[in-house]
Homo-oligomer: A and B are copies of this chain.
Amino acid sequence: MKKVVTVKRRVLADNEAHADVLRGRFAASGTLVVNLISSPGSGKTSLLEATVKALAGELRCAVIEGDVATENDADRIRALGVPAHQILTGGSCHLDARQVSRGLAEGGFPEVDILFIENVGNLICPTTYDLGEDFKVVVLSVTEGDDKPVKYPAIFSRAEVAVISKSDLLPYVPFNLDTVRGQIASLNPEGAVLVVSSIGGDGMAGWIELLRERLEAKRRASR
């Protein structure tokens, strides 16, 4: 097992070096980069569809999609007229910074204001891989149960923003919002919690406003 730990440490150090290069590049272009992480089926792609629709005509967006298989998610974004590039990881349970660099080159994106990176559906593996992002967003759907922050503490500690998704299903599932808010507050006292329905639209305005503010803050800081 010691060998496994050593190799893992080397892989993470290598990833960090690539992430730093990406970070420099995103700083130079003034691009806000958001790394979205969740279980499979929590609604990351639906949130992105609603987001790029809401920002259409105001901010230039692009999306990098990470999946084990299929081009489905990138197709859904492209159908809205927004550039998207699909990274297929094969068996790997997370994206790494090298894949994002390659994806940007292959995607041939124009310069954008916000780059969304939708990570592979997984609450564990993507946590420790820096992709040069400004911040991580963890998405948790109300159908997954209100015990998830304490069961997956690493990602809920590290994500600056938690989006509680599919709030339209709250009447039909056992999910106590206060319980989840309390768990996140103790894991990550500075973290923002937003409750959103991508389909119904509830809470979307707050999410969009947060993105506008973070982009503005990044550009102010670089002036």
Residues of A that sit less than 8 Å from B by CB: 3-4, 7, 11, 39-42, 67-70, 72, 91, 93, 120-125, 128, 141, 143-145, 147-148, 150-154, 166, 168-169, 172-173
Contact = CB atoms under 8 A, between A and B. Distances in A.
A143 B169 CA distance: 9
B91 A124 contact: yes
A141 B208 CA distance: 29
A198 to B, nearest CB: 12
Nearest to A120: B124
A154 to B, nearest CB: 7
B39 A152 contact: no
Given A169-B143, A169-B169, A172-B169, A69 B150 contact: yes
Given A125-B93, A169-B172, A172-B169, A70 B151 contact: yes
Given A39-B40, A41-B144, A124-B122, A68 B151 contact: yes
Contact of A39 (B3, B7, B39, B69): B39
Contacts of A166: 143
A40 B39 CA distance: 6
Given A4-B7, A120-B124, 20 more contacts: A4-B11, A39-B41, A39-B144, A40-B123, A41-B143, A41-B145, A67-B151, A69-B150, A69-B151, A70-B150, A70-B151, A72-B147, A72-B151, A91-B124, A91-B128, A93-B93, A121-B123, A121-B152, A169-B169, A169-B172
22 contacts: A4-B7, A4-B11, A39-B39, A39-B41, A39-B144, A40-B144, A40-B151, A41-B141, A41-B144, A42-B144, A69-B151, A72-B150, A91-B124, A93-B93, A121-B151, A122-B122, A122-B123, A124-B125, A143-B169, A168-B172, A169-B169, A169-B173
Nearest to A144: B41
A153 to B, nearest CB: 5
